[in-house]
Amino acid sequence: KAGVTQTPRYLIKTRGQQVTLSCSPISGHRSVSWYQQTPGQGLQFLFEYFSETQRNKGNFPGRFSGRQFSNSRSEMNVSTLELGDSALYLCASSWGPDRGSLYEQYFGPGTRLTVT
């Protein structure tokens, strides 16, 4: 079974620009969660989408947004990039058909964003 895929893997952007990251979950999984990982803050939760609806949201400014499509693929967008947005952005999929492992989240390889 294919794992979680994320594109692009690496991205370099300039302050003030915007960026869109994509995530394709494991086939059959209905939930996609997004996390930001930095050396200083660790793993921080951005938001979670389930069946095209945002179900949970972390404490990030409105510049960070996301959406989920009917095929469960998800995108996150960051507008007006700041230097502090440089991080590894991870998506994770969960809520597959196996009820015994509903809450297990499987991570993609991440997108490394560098803002200059």
Binding piece for other proteins, criterion CB under 8 A, among 17-25, 45-53, 60-68, 71-79: 45-53
Q: Which is nearer to other proteins, 18 or 101 (CB)?
A: 101
Q: What is the SS3 assignment for 65-114?
A: EEEECCCCCEEEEECCCCHHHCEEEEEEEECCCCHHHCCCCEECCCEEEE
Q: Which is nearer to other proteins, 12 or 102 (CB)?
A: 102
Please state the closest distance from residue 96 (CB atom) to other proteins, in A: 13
Distance in angstroms (rounded) separating the CA atoms of residues 6 and 15? 23
Please state the closest distance from residue 16 (CB atom) to other proteins, in A: 28
Check binding of 107 to other proteins (CB under 8 A): yes
Please state the closest distance from residue 84 (CB atom) to other proteins, in A: 19
For the range 60-66, what are the long-range contacts, defined as Cβ-Cβ under 8 Å and sequence gap of 24 or more? 60/36, 66/34
Check binding of 95 to other proteins (CB under 8 A): yes
